[in-house]
Amino acid sequence: MVEGVPQNGGYMVAAYIVAAAILVGYALSLYRRPRR
């Protein structure tokens, strides 16, 4: 661990999960749309 580097990895993980959820969610919604 580098001394002095802020410990804020949780925010990075949250942002990556949120972005993936939005993009995968939209892809799934497009996949399901023709079946309605």
Partner 1 sequence: MTLIQKGRVVSLVGLVLLGAVYVRALAFTPTEATQGLAQKIYYIHVPAAVWAETSMILIGLASIFFLFLGDPRLDRFAEASAQVGAVFAAVVLTTGPIWGKPIWGTWWTWDARLTLTLLLFFIYLGYLVMRGAVTDVGLRARYSAVLGICGLLLVPFIHFSVLMFRTLHPQPIVLKPSAPSLPGVMLVTLLLSFGVFTILYIGFVMQTYALALAHEAGSDG
Token pair of 26 as six digits: 């939209």
Residues in the interface with partner 1 (CB under 8 A) total: 24
Residue appearing with tokens 């925010």: 11
Q: How many whole angstroms separate alpha carbon 26 and alpha carbon 20?
A: 10
Binders of partner 1 in range 1-36 (CB under 8 A):
2, 4-9, 11-12, 14-16, 18-20, 22-24, 26-27, 30-31, 33-34
For the CB of residue 21, give the shortest distance to partner 1 in the complex, in Å.
9
Q: Is 21 exposed, middle or buried (0-12, 13-18, 19+ CB in 10 A)?
A: exposed
Binding site for partner 1 (CB under 8 A): 2, 4-9, 11-12, 14-16, 18-20, 22-24, 26-27, 30-31, 33-34
